[in-house]
Amino acid sequence: MTRRLRKDWIGDIMHRFETVEDPYLAEQKRAGIGICPRCHAVFRNKRWRLDEKFYAEHKDDPAIPKFLCPGCRRALDHYPGGYFTLQGSFLDKHLDEVMRVLNNEYERARAKNPLEQIIDIKDEPDGSLTVETTNERLAQRLGRAIYKAYKGELTFNWSHMNKMVRVYWKRDS
C-alpha cells in the first residue's frame, strides 16, 4: 500500500492527460509543423523536440495544428517497445531513491528525445516493479542508470528483431 502511494509521485511524469484528440485523424496533419497536445512536444523540421517556449506561445494558436506525437500514440495504444523490471529486496528499502534515479534519467532522455516516454509503472505480484517504455532505448537507458547507481545484476533480453527489449535488474541487499 505504501508502495502504491509512493509510486504516485512519479505519476506526474507519465503524462496522463485526458484531452486527447483522435490520434489517427491527426495523421493527415503530419506535414510541416505542429504541437502534441498530450506531452507538449513540438514538431518542426521533421523532428519532435521539447520546446517550452514555442509550446507556450503557440498552444492556443489555431494556425498551428495539434496532433499526437508517435510516442504519445504508442503510449495511448499501450504498445510498449521496452520493459524494465526491477527486482530484489534492495528495492523495498530504497524505493524512493530508486524512483528518483529513474525520474532524473527519464527527464534527461526526454530532453533529448520526447518520443521516449514511460507508459506505465507496475507493481508486480512478486514485489518487483516493471517500467513500460515507448521504445527499447529508454528501457536500456533506465536499466543502465540504475546499474550505475546501485550495481547489482543487469540483463537484457531482445526479441522481435531487436525491436523490443526486456531489461532486468536485480539486487538483494
| Residue 129 in contact with Zn ion, rule: CB under 5 A | no
Q: How far is the CB of 119 from Zn ion (least distance, A)?
A: 12
| Residue 42 in contact with Zn ion, rule: CB under 5 A | no
Among 35, 72, 131, 145, binds Zn ion (CB under 5 A): 72
| Residue 38 in contact with Zn ion, rule: CB under 5 A | yes
Q: How far is the CB of 19 from Zn ion (least distance, A)?
A: 12
Query: Cβ closer to Zn ion: 48 or 90?
Result: 48
Distance CA 102, CA 156 (A): 17
C-alpha cell at 130: 516493471
Q: How far is the CB of 36 from Zn ion (least distance, A)?
A: 3
Among 42, 69, 131, 142, binds Zn ion (CB under 5 A): 69
Q: How far is the CB of 124 from Zn ion (least distance, A)?
A: 27
Query: Cβ closer to Zn ion: 73 or 166?
Result: 73
The three-state (H, E, C) secondary structure of the chain, written as one string: CHHHHHHHCCHHHHCCCCCCCCCCHHHHHCCCCEECCCCCEEEECCEEEECHHHHHHHCCCCCCCECCCHHHHHHHCCCCCEEEEEECHHHHHCHHHHHHHHHHHHHHHHHHCCCCCEEEEEECCCCCEEEEECCHHHHHHHHHHHHHHHCCEEEEEEECCCCEEEEEEECCC
Stretch that binds Zn ion, among 30-38, 96-104, 130-138, 158-166 (CB under 5 A): 30-38
The residues of the shown chain that bind Zn ion, judged by CB under 5 A, are 36, 38-39, 41, 69, 72
